Chain A
Amino acid sequence: DTEVTQTPKHLVMGMTNKKSLKCEQHMGHRAMYWYKQKAKKPPELMFVYSYEKLSINESVPSRFSPECPNSSLLNLHLHALQPEDSALYLCASSQGTGATSYEQYFGPGTRLTVT
């Protein structure tokens, strides 16, 4: 099984709402990632978890709060977002982070619209 699943597929939320994005993988991967992708742009790294610990936060605003409850699950909690946060949010996983050859497996993404 080389699948990364993400829920929900689409999400519309107001600027005062609180919502969460979920990501799951069962490949035994020890690194998981959140990316943000705007239209016609490459993915931008937001967070990296390695062995369930936050390893990288790319200066992401605190209205985005990641959580890694266990090695298979990754959440992204959203609160008080701005319209410019509307984007495709991609989750990815890889076997680890130590070797260059570890490719990333991406989920299908959550299309987020902030109204």
Chain B
Amino acid sequence: GNSVTQMEGPVTLSEEAFLTINCTYTATGYPSLFWYVQYPGEGLQLLLKATKADDKGSNKGFEATYRKETTSFHLEKGSVQVSDSAVYFCALRKIGGFKTIFGAGTRLFVKA
């Protein structure tokens, strides 16, 4: 079946530290991959996406590369800020699929 596995949190970092949140997936075919972010008390916002192998999605300093050979889509940011504190969800969507498959989410705390 289709699934997304994310590293367990919470992840606690100091401001300006490097961030990596690991995400691996299982899917047949060629899904599109997404990172969504949820700030406290809010809905989900699309952070970035990649639709085919070797694509790199980027937004607001965050990056993730679609690696088909390792079935991974790890999220990275070179220097986190306190305002990046949120829950991050990795997700996939398959061709013809009505469903988005979400990972469990990783909570990030950034300390000043």
A interface residues, Cβ below 8 angstroms from B:
4, 6, 31, 40-43, 45, 48, 50, 55-56, 90, 92, 97-109
Q: Which of A31, A48, A109 is in CB contact (< 8 Å) with B43?
A: A109
Q: Which residues of A contact B104 (CB under 8 A)?
A: 41-42
> Across the interface, do A107 and B43 meet the contact criterion of CB distance under 8 Å?
yes
Looking across the interface, which residue of chain B has its beta carbon closest to that of A44? B102
Give me 9 other A-B pairs in contact (C-beta within 8 A), A100-B93, A103-B34 excluded: A4-B43, A40-B107, A42-B105, A45-B99, A50-B98, A55-B98, A56-B99, A102-B93, A104-B46
> Across the interface, do B99 and A103 meet the contact criterion of CB distance under 8 Å?
no
- Least Cβ–Cβ distance between B59 and chain A, in angstroms: 12
Flag B37-64 by CB within 8 Å of A: 1 or 0 each: 0000011111001010000000000000
CA–CA, A102 and B95, complex, Å: 10
Q: Which residues of B contact A48 (CB under 8 A)?
A: 98-99
Interface members, chain B 85-111 (any A CB < 8 Å): 89, 93-100, 102-105, 107
Q: Which residues of A contact B42 (CB under 8 A)?
A: 108-109
- Least Cβ–Cβ distance between A103 and chain B, in angstroms: 5
Q: Which residues of A contact B31 (CB under 8 A)?
A: 100
> Across the interface, do A106 and B99 meet the contact criterion of CB distance under 8 Å?
no
Looking across the interface, which residue of chain B has its beta carbon closest to that of A98? B96
- Least Cβ–Cβ distance between A1 and chain B, in angstroms: 15
CA–CA, A42 and B96, complex, Å: 22
- Least Cβ–Cβ distance between A29 and chain B, in angstroms: 13
Is B32 interfacial (CB-CB < 8 Å)? yes
> Across the interface, do B43 and A104 meet the contact criterion of CB distance under 8 Å?
no
- Least Cβ–Cβ distance between B22 and chain A, in angstroms: 16
CA–CA, A100 and B31, complex, Å: 6
- Least Cβ–Cβ distance between B49 and chain A, in angstroms: 6
- Least Cβ–Cβ distance between A36 and chain B, in angstroms: 12
- Least Cβ–Cβ distance between A77 and chain B, in angstroms: 21
- Least Cβ–Cβ distance between A8 and chain B, in angstroms: 14
Looking across the interface, which residue of chain B has its beta carbon closest to that of A100? B32
> Across the interface, do B98 and A56 meet the contact criterion of CB distance under 8 Å?
yes
CA–CA, A115 and B105, complex, Å: 28
> Across the interface, do A90 and B51 meet the contact criterion of CB distance under 8 Å?
no
